[in-house]
Structure 1
Amino acid sequence: MNVSSKLSVAEKLGYSLGDLAANLIFQTLVTFLAFFYTDVFRIPAATAATIIFVVGLLGAFVFTPVMGLIADRTRTRWGKFRPWVLWTAVPFGLLALLAFSTPNLGVHGKETYALATYTLLVLVYVANNLPYSALSGVLTGSMEQRNSLSSYRFVAVMVAQFIIQVLLLPLVLILGDGDKAHGFHLVMMVFAAVGTLFFLITFFTTRERILPVQEQASSIREDLGDLAKNRPWWIMLAVTVLVFVNLALKGGMYIYYFKYYLNAAKLADFLDGIGFNGFVTGLDRLLVGLGLSGFHWPHDAAASTFSLFNALGIIFMIVGIGFSRPLADRFGKRNVFGGALLASTLFLLAFYVYSPDAIGLIIGSYIFHGFFYGITTPLLWAMIADVADYSEWKNHRRATAIIFSAMLCGLKLGLSIGGALVAGILAFCGYHPDATMQTPAVVDGIRLTVSILCSIPFLLAVALLFLYEIDKPMESRIERELDARRRLVGEGA
């Protein structure tokens, strides 16, 4: 078997649909779960925050590492990781639907229901997404093909992100005819059905080619020991944490930036000037003419511009992803990742000098930030797959899932830190949620956060990459030598 063989377009598309399916749910959880619990299901905010935080930690530090150990020791005729995508396809969809349902159970009953359904959903999400992520490391031994696979995968992620961040709330209002509870239920029914189908497509269109040699029988202690000695893994773990601190910090603070820092009149003028308001009005008339409830877009200028801001950022991230593979193939993943991350950071820093009236410059900077950050998104996970190869090359043992599980712990830790920083910074500056106008200290804190403070994690990640030793020549050496080992084992089998 040629473990470095070229993957077909069908296999790349089939694999990427799994990430689209998972992110329809994951992005909804990240963006709207707190809103759903407090404003739709009517759970007290403090209780909702506790449920989200506790279950998040449980997912990061219990479910994820345990699942990594289980997945690496799974043995079936379908492989180690593909079966988990199959086994969890239907439960994932059902639990997503249950988690966004609103049974009338009373206050304590609702809290118990939310805790139970969210815990089970996170458990199944980990059982699905960790093996799915690890699967990218065993579809092919070719690092060039992994670059291509990651590009397909993260276009799918951006499509899901666009659907959730830009279109989900209008869809909830349209399908529910203004009833958010009913609208969420119908939207999640669609997501559950589509997601289940996409997971099944992923299972049937992919094939595991990188298999551990039959003699390999490493213990959990050996796997953890290999991990502890793996310097590239430590670096990528730190980089993963830092990247997701940035994503949570800026993602959580942008809505305040639009609401309290930018000039509302200038935002309205900008939307009128580019024809956005006219477009939404025309779309609303079309939907009403078709017998639907209308396109319930947010009416205030800050919310509308924020949605447009997110949409343009995601679109240009997708454009950036298109440049990721050819650049990485030529210059190596480490160099392209670090260079693009640095370039994206410069456009974040520019937010510090923009006045509240500079709407066009702000939108333009975010477009360029999105483009350069888009180049990096496929490379992060492709580099983690390379770290799994590096571990096998060094130790003659392969433990793909435990490496990916540690990175997913880093992802969840980064999101938790970034999310906590948003609330902490606002509290430190004296933010009052009921005030129509915030104090200058709060406004300055918001501006500082979306520019300088958000840039620090990215700059630290760029600095760490100078210590990451898997450059383009080492990529080629590892791939060549592992391929020779696997061929030798195959010939002797």
Structure 2
Amino acid sequence: MLPPLKKTAILNYSIGDFGINLNFQLIGFFLAYFYTDVFGISPGHVAGLLLAARAWDAFNDPVMGFIADKTRTKWGRFRPYVIFGAIPLNLMLVACFYVPDISIELKVVYAYVTYILHGMVFTAVGLPYSSISAVMTQDQQERALISTLRMFFAVIIAMSIVNIGTRPFLDRFYPESEANGFFALALLYAIISSVVLIYVGIKSKERLDFTPEKYKLMDIFRIIFSNKMLLILGSAMFFNTCIWVIANSVALYYFKYILGNTNLYSLFFGYMLPANVVGVALTPMLTKMYGKRNVFILGSAIVVVANLVRHFLPGDAFQTFTAVSMLASTAMMFCSCCQWGMVPDTVEYGHWKTGIRSEGIPFAFFSFAFKAGMALGGAFSMLVLQKSGYVANTELNDASRTAVIWLYNIVPAGCSVACIVALIFYKLDGERFSQILADLETRKK
């Protein structure tokens, strides 16, 4: 039986989400807008790029999980990837926000190469980083605390900095050139992210040392498809990611073209900060009382209601719009904290079900589900804009206005409903999980 995790150990690990998310949030919130309105390629090209990248991830992510499971070094199985992958990951971030002086055709090629390479390196760092949580502790409450603190650094700190700070940074220092502004900001975030991730890789500890499992590359499919809880949670994660990506990929379009004021964007997300803090702060208490799965469902239900209310508000009701959005943002924190706290539990379930202990493959599957949600959600948004006749930096036609409004409100509500349906079938909270751990201990003896 391992001693309880020290608070400093949890902090030293969880701060990695600040480093990861400075990189990830800039890509997630601004790359689609950057590609269409700054880089100069069409929404259709962006949609194709996102889909191509995720098609490659269907192969890349499981293989990376397999490699991570087989890794054995003096630093551990997962930490070396965080330490030595930090700088390459952030160099690719800078490359994604660079505008070369070349033809549109070559720009499309450049975007494909840099974005796909970024995704590959992100997997090589993010997957092992997330896997560390499964070898730090098997205690559900400690895992819930780790997940909550990770969301604090990911959302309260990193996402707030990116959302609240990006637009003022561009307007203040690069009012004449968004291209130069995005490049400078990517470089700044890359430096900070690299330092944080290297620190985390050095300071984190892998406390659970399991005997290496001897399984073949083709066993990946058995590990995944025999783990029912993994598939269910992966489905919920996919839809939950779609909510975030679809809404946020059109958020800047919404403020620029529907509300007609991009300055409101930073103000709006400034209000989301205290809402996110409330969500993260309440999650540990709620999960202790009701379980992670039930709190995840509660958060998804609130998101459905809030998005429907927001959709039918009059255009000049910005204060009410913001208040309802704060409620939705709090609820999304319930969902995000719970989903990442539930992921390590599926590792134990898979071990119990198949007899094969693998952290890398389950986390690779969740990495793919997460990135598939990003890709399909983002591609769907861009394709809808393309079909609506969207033209960058001009007044929107009626079809494009309707598309932006529906993408911001109604489609995410539908994804939340799908998330709830998936979670109804998830049965890995409380007593059942404790029994699985007890069974695994008995097998060892």
Q: TM-score under structure 1 normalisation?
A: 0.81
Aligned partners of 2:171, 2:389: CA distance in 1, in Å? 34
Aligned partners of 1:234, 1:32: CA distance in 2, in Å? 30
**Alpha-carbon RMSD:** 2.8
1:430, distance to aligned residue in structure 2 (A): 5.8
Q: Which of 151, 155, 177 lines up with 2:152 in the alignment?
A: 155
Q: Which of 331, 334, 342 lines up with 1:372 in the alignment?
A: 331
Cα offsets for 1:237-275 (capped at 9, x unmatched): 21111112222222234444445555xxxxxxxxxxxxx
Q: Which of 163, 167, 170 lines up with 2:168 in the alignment?
A: 170
Q: Residues 199 and 432 of structure 1: is their aligned pair in 2 closer, same or farther, counting only changes over 3 Å?
A: closer
Q: Which of 353, 362, 366 lines up with 1:394 in the alignment?
A: 353
Q: Which of 204, 222, 225 lines up with 1:228 in the alignment?
A: 225
Q: Which of 166, 179, 184 lines up with 2:182 in the alignment?
A: 184
Task: Give the corresponding residue for 1:94.
Answer: 91
Q: Residues 59 and 149 of structure 1: is their aligned pair in 2 closer, same or farther, counting only changes over 3 Å?
A: farther
Cα offsets for 1:382-436 (capped at 9, x unmatched): 1111111111122222111111111121122222222233234445556565653
1:189, distance to aligned residue in structure 2 (A): 3.0
Q: Residues 431 and 190 of structure 1: is their aligned pair in 2 closer, same or farther, counting only changes over 3 Å?
A: closer
Cα offsets for 1:319-344 (capped at 9, x unmatched): 20111112212221111111222123
Q: Which moved more, 1:178-187 or 1:370-379?
A: 178-187
Q: Residues 450 and 193 of structure 1: is their aligned pair in 2 closer, same or farther, counting only changes over 3 Å?
A: closer
Q: Residues 323 and 479 of structure 1: is their aligned pair in 2 closer, same or farther, counting only changes over 3 Å?
A: farther
Task: Give the corresponding residue for 1:267.
Answer: none
Task: Give the corresponding residue for 1:466.
Answer: 424
Aligned partners of 1:227, 1:113: CA distance in 2, in Å? 34
Gaps of 5+ in 2: none
Q: Are 1:202 and 2:160 an aligned pair?
A: no
Matches within 5 A, 1:445-460: 445-460=403-418
Task: Give the corresponding residue for 2:82.
Answer: 85
1:186, distance to aligned residue in structure 2 (A): 3.3
SS at match of 1:436: coil
Aligned partners of 2:214, 2:269: CA distance in 1, in Å? 47
Q: Any conservation in 1 of the 2:44–2:386 contact (CA below 8 Å)?
A: no
Cα offsets for 1:67-114 (capped at 9, x unmatched): 111111112222221111112122223333344344556666655554
Task: Give the corresponding residue for 2:340.
Answer: 381
Matches within 5 A, 1:322-337: 322-337=281-296
- Please tell me whether Structure 1 or Structure 2 has the larger radius of gyration of its CA atoms: 1
Task: Give the corresponding residue for 1:75.
Answer: 72
Q: TM-score under structure 2 normalisation?
A: 0.89
Q: Residues 352 and 183 of structure 1: is their aligned pair in 2 closer, same or farther, counting only changes over 3 Å?
A: closer
Q: Any conservation in 1 of the 2:32–2:249 contact (CA below 8 Å)?
A: no
Q: Any conservation in 2 of the 1:27–1:164 contact (CA below 8 Å)?
A: yes
Q: Residues 56 and 196 of structure 1: is their aligned pair in 2 closer, same or farther, counting only changes over 3 Å?
A: same
Cα offsets for 1:50-75 (capped at 9, x unmatched): 77326522552232122111111112
Aligned partners of 2:12, 2:285: CA distance in 1, in Å? 21
Task: Give the corresponding residue for 1:297.
Answer: none
Aligned partners of 1:143, 1:183: CA distance in 2, in Å? 43
Higher relative contact order (CA 8 A, sep 6+): 2
Aligned partners of 2:178, 2:400: CA distance in 1, in Å? 32
Task: Give the corresponding residue for 1:7.
Answer: 5
Percent identity over the alignment?
A: 26
Task: Give the corresponding residue for 1:60.
Answer: 57
1:457, distance to aligned residue in structure 2 (A): 1.4
Task: Give the corresponding residue for 1:237.
Answer: 234
SS at match of 1:136: helix
Q: Are 1:341 and 2:338 an aligned pair?
A: no
Q: Are 1:19 and 2:20 an aligned pair?
A: no
Q: Any conservation in 1 of the 2:64–2:123 contact (CA below 8 Å)?
A: yes
Task: Give the corresponding residue for 1:33.
Answer: 31
SS at match of 1:213: coil
